[in-house]
């Protein structure tokens, strides 16, 4: 598995509330996590950091010998436990009251791709044919799209597009969306916070991902496109490619 990632504070925000980590391939599984903290003065950066630490701790011992159902259960359990930790801290300390975070988690082997998420941070897959969004935003505008009240194009510019219907740490219990997908050699996954997806359209994403550039260059180009479009939010990007040889493109430290 080859991976590369970057996070950027953007052009407007003073604090980067995004966090990401990639756990190097171990026992045939590579785990990637992206979290986008919410709350601003209510310590969104604390929530996102707690999320990736708690989830990474739980998923550090996954194995490709696990079946897909076991992988899904492990990802769901890790996110649920992270939710409990964040909620407990937010409830017990006044300065953290109301803090929360989005999260998207990918656990991938050569043959299995399992993704769990809460909020509007996204995962996409690109293969030889198309770019497909694998996650559905837990947001007000997505509910409007699902009910047919607005189109996807209208949702991209809706004034309330950042209003979440589900987040990690804001309630004692949370429903986690977990799914598995077809995943073959050469396929690529893009994970990102909405600092990228809300500013760069799918056609541009696909063009960059299909280019002949190496992974680090693709990541940089994606971040630069978001900055050129205004950079009004923190921007985080992680790319993962299904290849057999190991790579040290991205280490396991949080950034």
Greater confidence (147 vs 176) lies with 176
Tell me the CA distances in angstroms from 85 to 8, 131, 173, 183, one per residue in order.
26, 35, 11, 32
Integer Cα distance of 98 and 117 in angstroms:
19
| Confidence label for 162 from pLDDT (cuts 50, 70 and 90) | confident
CA dihedral 123, 126, 131, 135 (to 10 degrees): -20
- Domain CATH code at residue 67: 3.60.40.10
- When divided into structural domains, the chain yields a total of 1
- Of 60 and 251, the structure prediction assigns the larger pLDDT to 60
Q: Residues 108-123: pLDDT tens digits?
A: 999 999 999 999 999 9
192 part of a folded domain: yes
* Domain presence at residue 249: no
| Alpha-carbon Rg for the chain in angstroms | 17
Structure tokens at 49: 């950091």
Interacting residues of 156 by C-beta distance below 8 A, sequence separation 6+: 198, 201
For residue 216, how many other CB atoms are within 10 A of its CB? 14
Within-domain flag for 255: no
Please report whether residue 247 resides in a domain.
no
Confidence of residue 42 (pLDDT cuts 50, 70, 90): low
- Runs of H (alpha helix) within the chain: 44-59, 68-92, 140-146, 152-155, 194-197, 202-209, 215-228
Segments forming the whole domain that contains residue 10? 2-241
Q: Name residues whose C-beta falls within 8 Å of residue 181's C-beta, 6 or more positions apart in sequence.
A: 113, 115, 125, 134
pLDDT band for 165, please (50, 70, 90 cuts). Answer: very high
- Is residue 153, in this structure, part of any structural domain at all? yes
Identify whether 250 is part of a domain: no
Q: What share of the chain in percent tops pLDDT 90?
A: 76
pLDDT over 60 (residue 94):
yes
- Residue 41 has what pLDDT? 58
- What pLDDT is recorded for position 253? 44
Residue 215 lies in a domain: yes
| pLDDT for the residue 24 | 86
pTM, rounded to two decimals: 0.91
66-84 mean pLDDT: 97
Residue, of 163 and 177, whose pLDDT is higher: 177
**Length of the chain counted residue by residue:** 255
How much is the pLDDT for 245? 60
pLDDT of residue 40: 59
pLDDT at 238 over 50: yes
Q: Is 254 within the bounds of a domain?
A: no
């Amino acid at each position: 598995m080859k991976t590369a990632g970057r996070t950027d504070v953007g052009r407007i925000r003073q604090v980067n509330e995004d966090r990401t980590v990639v756990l190097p391939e171990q026992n045939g599984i590579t785990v990637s996590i992206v979290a986008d903290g919410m709350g601003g003065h209510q310590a969104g950066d604390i929530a996102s950091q707690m999320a990736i630490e708690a989830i990474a701790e739980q998923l550090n011992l996954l194995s490709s010998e696990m079946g897909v159902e076991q992988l899904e259960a492990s990802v769901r359990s890790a996110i649920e436990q992270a939710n409990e930790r964040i909620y407990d801290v937010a409830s017990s300390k006044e300065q953290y009251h109301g803090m929360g975070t989005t999260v998207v988690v990918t656990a991938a082997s050569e043959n299995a791709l399992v993704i769990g998420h809460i909020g509007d941070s996204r995962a996409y897959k690109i293969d030889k044919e198309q770019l497909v969004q694998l996650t559905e935003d837990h947001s007000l505008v997505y509910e409007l799209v699902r009910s047919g009240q607005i189109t996807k194009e209208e949702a991209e510019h809706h004034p309330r597009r950042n209003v979440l219907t589900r987040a990690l740490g804001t309630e004692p219990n949370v429903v986690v969306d977990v799914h598995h997908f077809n995943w073959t050699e050469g396929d690529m996954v893009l994970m990102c916070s909405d600092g990228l997806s809300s500013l760069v359209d799918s056609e541009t994403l696909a063009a960059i991902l299909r280019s002949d550039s190496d992974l680090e260059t693709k990541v940089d180009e994606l971040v630069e496109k978001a900055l050129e479009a205004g950079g009004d939010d923190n921007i985080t990007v992680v790319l993962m490619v299904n290849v057999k040889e190991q790579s040290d493109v991205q280490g396991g430290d949080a950034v």
